[in-house]
Amino acid sequence: MLRAQQNELLTQTGPGTPMGQLFRSHWIPALLAEELPENECPPVRVKLLSERLLAFRDTDGRYGLIDEFCAHRGVSLWFGRNEHSGLRCPYHGWKYDVTGQCIEVPSEPVESGFCRKIKLKSYPLVLRGGVLWTYMGPPEQQPPLPEWEFATVPAGQSFMSKRWQESNWLQALEGGIDSSHVSFLHRSDLESDPLFKGAKGNQYNLNDAQPHFEVVESPGGLYIGARRNAENGHYYWRITQWVMPSFTMIPPRGDHPVHGHFWIPMDDENCWTWSFDYRPNRTLTEREVAVMRDGQGIHVKYIPGTFRPLANKDNDYLMDRTAQKAGKTFSGVEGFAMQDASLQESMGPIVDRTKENLVSTDNGIIMARHRLMRAAKALVEKGVIPPGVDPVHQRVRSASVILPPDQPFKDAAREHLLARPDTVHASV
Amino acid sequence: MISESARVTTAAEARFRIDAPNSRPRAVKVIALDGPSERVVKHLASREWGQASFFTASAFTAPAAAAPFSMDGWLTDLAGRTKSLIEEVESADLVVMIAASGENAQAAAIIGEACSIKSVMTTALVLGSEAQSEEGLSKSLAQLRPHAMMVVVASADEYIEDMLTALRA
């Protein structure tokens, strides 16, 4: 349970809010590189942290993320012409470069220099690992570029998708660090999805619906360990990484790629769910990429030409009660991603946490909220840089391992929880 | 026609969620396992709680050697009165054991045993891990892990308050 005031603190991320300030301390994913595929391609509307923005790639290949609306009469620059190193408003011809600087006002004499007085708000937009990242905080505090392992491995070793989720970011994130739902909601998919099936760890999961948990603070966020009994008195540990504010990395299964998410607020009632799969030591196979593109694993099928899932609230998530009754799916909704999203969206745009009844196994969620509130307070009141900004905090991995009973997972699996170039991830 | 899911998941519809209690108060027993955590628990007890009660297991450190084993009388409340472990556990929905990293947490064994007998959920919180050696933390975890369904290692004492509030203690 949270008090109403705490719920508002954590769920509101617009300009001037504490959590908005926290998000604005980090580099966050803004677009897939493929959304701006070539120089002078059409601009793309982007809404992030309750700000309407426009992304474009100019004649020289430079990326820009600027206020969506022309400073003159408030026209959306989405209708603009991307030409000759700038984006021109089609209404009266005002033109802007990738920094938002106005570089032409045709109605004014060039000599007047009037255009130099016009500048739209803009944010840096940089390409890394197939993703265009932005930093929306104070320029003088811009941190080093992100170093998440999936974004630094060679192209071909990682795959990224994104989908529109129609709920507040926090209820989506909390699903990502809630390890105990897997044995219920996703149980039918563990042994059928091509990116999950066949792992020995699945059997430990399915045989034990009451795992023991350990929640340990990490430099960037949390390690959330779930242990189940393995052979000879040993434990099967699944160790999830959460790095502030909204990165999670799910423990891998067998020889499958390792995967995870970011949840990035569009506004307070919608977020982008980013989903990545990668291999640290070799390229993804054609088959793996094909099933990811087909919406399996943690990815989704789309309504063509959009990032909206094909199964969405408008079609009741293609609910199949026959499949539910037959045990083909536990909830009647197909696929890991929409099984999660359908339930998270069903809570309403911003779930009322004053009415919830958390239990002891929800300590991962409780601790994440606790750390987010502490970090936001320290940032707002004392200017303390939040965890997760330092690239060292980003060089992490999740892991699934078998360990002797007397060893803390954090120590026994220490090297497996760090990104190590070209080494395979620890997986059972 | 708009789907049922689309219609009912708006902010406007969320206002119609029934505004009535959906749970009864939970009895949470918070037990300090050592001296340092006893100080934290005493501080916590001074706050306003619903059904939380606070104890210390200090008596475990010096059990009467000659007495036959019994689960009675192994707890002390903060007023110094001896309490029956088994009775307190029996009336609990959740038992929270608080241990300071590196301190002796052996009392967890008998509390965990009592909770197991009475089928009561257990959570263990380890505090002060940043100030202690890895070895000290490992020792605490080894003592707690077999007897708690959930173990949390927290660097800040105020986490306990947040956790108890979240659990409606």
Check: CB of residue A127 under 8 Å from CB of residue A65. Answer: no
Average pLDDT of span B68-85: 81
Check residues A72 and B131 and name the one with the higher pLDDT. Answer: A72
- For residue B128, the chain A residue with the least C-alpha distance is A217
Q: Which of A5, A1, A2, A31 is nearest to A18 (CA)?
A: A5
Average pLDDT, chain B: 89
Alpha-helical (H) ranges within A118-199 are 149-152, 169-176, 182-185
With beta carbons less than 8 A apart as the criterion, state whether A259 and A297 touch.
yes
Say yes or no to pLDDT of B130 above 60: yes
CA A164 – CA A410 distance, rounded (Å): 34
pLDDT at B115 over 60: yes
Q: Between the CA of residue A125 and those of A15, A166, B48, B157, what are the distances in Å?
A: 19, 25, 49, 40
Q: What does the alpha-carbon distance between residue A213 and residue A240 come to, in Å, rounded to a whole number?
A: 11
Touching check for B5 and chain A: CB below 8 Å? yes
Contacts of B163 in chain A (CB under 8 A): 363, 366-367, 370
Nearest to B141 by CA among A367, A240, A408: A408
Output the pLDDT for position B153.
94
In whole angstroms, what is the distance from residue A322 CA to residue A319 CA? Answer: 9
Q: Which of A214, A366, A408 sits opposite B166 (nearest CB)?
A: A366
Instruction: Kindly list the distances between the CA atom of residue A114 and the CA atoms of A77, A88, A110, A121, B152, in Å, as whole numbers in the listed order.
Output: 20, 16, 8, 17, 60
Report whether A334 contacts A309 (CB < 8 A): no
Q: Are A193 and A296 in contact (CB under 8 A)?
A: yes
Neighbouring CB atoms inside 10 A of A64's CB total 25
Q: What residues have CB less than 8 Å from A290, skipping those under 6 apart? A: none
- Residue A269: its chain B contacts at CB < 8 A? 11
Residue B59 has pLDDT above 90, yes or no: no
- Per-domain residue ranges for chain B? 30-166
pLDDT reading at B3 higher than 90: yes
> What pLDDT band is residue B70 in, cutting at 50, 70 and 90?
low
Classify domain B30-166 at the CATH topology level. Answer: Rossmann fold (3.40.50)
- Separation of alpha carbons A105 and A143, rounded Å: 34
Q: Cβ distance A270 to A172 under 8 Å?
A: no
Question: For B5, which of A210, A313, A369 is closest by C-beta distance?
Answer: A313
Distance CA B101, CA B104 (A): 9
Q: How far is CA B164 from CA A36, A426, B116, in A?
A: 48, 35, 21
Assess contact for A179 and A226: CB atoms under 8 A: yes
Question: A153 φ, ψ to 5°?
Answer: -75, 160
Instruction: Tell me the pLDDT of chain A (428 aa) as tens digits.
Output: 999 999 999 999 999 999 999 999 999 999 999 999 999 999 999 999 999 999 999 999 999 999 999 999 999 999 999 999 999 999 999 999 999 999 999 999 999 999 999 999 999 999 999 999 999 999 999 999 999 999 999 999 999 999 999 999 999 999 999 988 888 899 889 889 999 999 999 999 888 878 899 999 999 999 999 999 899 999 999 999 999 999 999 999 999 999 999 999 999 999 999 999 999 999 999 999 999 999 999 999 999 999 999 999 999 999 999 999 999 999 999 999 999 999 999 999 999 999 999 999 999 999 999 999 999 999 999 999 999 999 999 999 999 999 988 788 888 788 999 999 889 999 99
Chain B positions in Cβ-Cβ contact with residue A165 (cut-off 8 Å): none
Kindly report the CA angle at A55 between A52 and A58, in degrees rounded to 5?
Answer: 150
N- to C-terminal Cα distance for chain A?
35
What pTM does this model have?
A: 0.95
DSSP string, B52-90: EEEEE-GGGGS--TTSPP-STT-EEETTS-EE-HHHHHH
B30 pLDDT higher than 80: yes
Among the partner residues B13, B141, B165, nearest to A408 by beta-carbon distance: B141
A248 closest CA partner among A144, A340, A153, A324:
A340
Determine the pLDDT at residue B62: 53
Whether the CB of A174 is below 8 Å from some CB of chain B: the reply is no
Q: What is the pLDDT of residue B72?
A: 66
Q: Which of residues 89-148 of B touch A (CB under 8 A)?
A: 94, 121-123, 129, 134, 137-138, 141-142, 145, 148
pLDDT of residue B66 exceeding 60: no
What's CA B2's distance to the chain center, in Å? 47
The amino acid at B167: L
Token look-up 């069903």 returns A346
Q: Taking each helix axis from N to C terminus, what angle separates B158-166 and B35-45, rounded to the nearest 10 degrees?
A: 50
- Which residue shows structure tokens 């507040």? A168
Q: What is the DSSP string of A65-101?
A: EEESB-TTT--BGGG-EE-SSSEE-TTT--EE-TTSB
Within a 10 A sphere around the Cβ of A273, how many other Cβ atoms?
A: 29
DSSP three-state, residue A200: helix
* Contact state of A313 with B123 under an 8 Å Cβ cutoff: no
- pLDDT at position A298 is 97
- pLDDT at site B133: 77
Interface probe with B: pick from A11, A359, A361, most Cβ of B within 10 Å? A359
Confidence of residue B71 (pLDDT cuts 50, 70, 90): low
Contact B150 A214 (CB under 8 A): yes
List of chain A residues whose C-beta atoms are within 8 Å of the C-beta of residue B121: 359-360
Residue B48 contacts A, CB cutoff 8 Å? no
Facing residue for A357 by CB, picked from B137, B138, B168: B168
